[in-house]
C-alpha cells in the first residue's frame, strides 16, 4: 500500500485539488479529477533511514510469516505430517507460533517507527504547514496485521504447550465424527 503517510489538510491554507501519499516503495499524487501519478523511489541510498529500516523490517516480517505458516501446517493436528510422532508435531506447531510472534513484533516495530517519524515531522515547528503529513491507512493496516500475528502466535503457543495429564502432547477436546454419532 502506498498510503503510509498522507498529506495533511491542517492549517488555514487548504488545497483539496490534490492529495499526496508516500509509502515504502513509491510516492503518489491523487488529482481531484481521479488521476493518480506514482513515482518509484530512484535510489535506495538516498532514502531516509526510517524508510530503509521499515522496508527491511516489513520484508523480514513477511518472510517470517510465510515460514511460520509452512511450519505450522506441518504441526497442526489436522494434518498427517508427523502423525506417528505427536510430541514432535506439537513442538513443530509451537515453533510456528513463536515465529508468528517474532514476525508480528518485527511488523509492529516497523510500523511504529514509521508512525513515530510521521508524528515527529508533523509537530516539528521547522516543517511548513503545507508539507505536513498524517498517518495513512497502510499504517493502521500494518498495526492491525502485527497485532493479529502476535495474537495468533500466542494462541498457537498456548494450545501447543499445554500438556495433558499423561504429558504426551497437547490437550484438545475429544473429536467425534459425524456430529457425535459413531458409525460402525
Domains of the chain: 46-161 (1.20.140.150)
Is the confidence at residue 77, as pLDDT, over 60?
A: yes
d(CA 147, CA 149) in angstroms, rounded, equals 5
Report the pLDDT value the prediction gives residue 165, as an integer from 0 to 100.
43
d(CA 122, CA 131) in angstroms, rounded, equals 9
Report the pLDDT value the prediction gives residue 144, as an integer from 0 to 100.
95
Report the pLDDT value the prediction gives residue 34, as an integer from 0 to 100.
81
Highest mean pLDDT among 57-71, 79-93, 156-170: 57-71
| 74-78, 119-123, 171-175: range with lowest mean pLDDT | 171-175
Report the pLDDT value the prediction gives residue 170, as an integer from 0 to 100.
52
Report the pLDDT value the prediction gives residue 147, as an integer from 0 to 100.
96
Is the confidence at residue 13, as pLDDT, over 90?
A: no
Per-residue confidence at 46, pLDDT binned at 50, 70, 90?
confident
Prediction pTM value: 0.77
Mean pLDDT over residues 102-107, rounded? 96
Summarised one tens digit per residue, pLDDT across range 161-178 is 655 444 455 555 555 555
Mean pLDDT over residues 124-138, rounded? 79
d(CA 61, CA 145) in angstroms, rounded, equals 10
Question: Locate cell 503510509: which residue?
Answer: 4
d(CA 29, CA 39) in angstroms, rounded, equals 9
d(CA 101, CA 144) in angstroms, rounded, equals 14
Report the pLDDT value the prediction gives residue 149, as an integer from 0 to 100.
95
Amino acid at each position: 500500500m502506498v498510503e503510509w503517510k498522507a498529506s495533511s489538510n491542517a492549517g488555514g491554507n487548504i488545497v483539496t485539488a490534490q492529495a499526496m501519499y508516500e509509502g515504502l516503495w513509491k510516492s503518489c499524487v491523487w488529482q481531484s479529477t481521479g488521476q493518480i501519478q506514482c513515482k518509484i523511489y530512484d535510489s535506495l541510498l538516498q532514502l531516509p533511514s526510517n524508510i530503509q529500516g521499515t522496508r527491511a523490517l516489513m520484508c523480514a516480517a513477511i518472510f517470517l510469516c510465510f515460514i511460520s505458516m509452512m511450519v505450522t501446517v506441518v504441526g497442526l493436528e489436522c494434518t498427517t505430517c508427523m502423525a506417528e510422532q505427536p510430541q514432535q508435531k506439537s513442538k513443530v506447531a509451537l515453533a510456528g507460533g513463536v515465529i508468528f510472534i517474532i514476525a508480528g513484533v518485527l511488523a509492529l516495530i516497523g510500523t511504529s517507527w514509521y508512525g513515530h517519524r510521521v508524528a515527529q515531522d508533523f509537530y516539528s515547528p521547522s516543517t511548513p504547514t503545507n508539507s505536513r503529513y498524517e498517518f495513512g491507512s497502510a499504517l493502521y493496516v500494518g498495526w492491525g496485521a502485527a497485532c493479529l500475528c502476535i495474537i495468533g502466535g500466542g494462541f498457537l503457543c498456548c494450545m501447543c504447550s499445554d500438556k495433558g495429564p499423561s504429558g504426551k502432547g497437547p490437550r484438545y477436546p475429544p473429536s467425534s465424527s459425524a456430529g457425535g454419532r459413531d458409525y460402525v
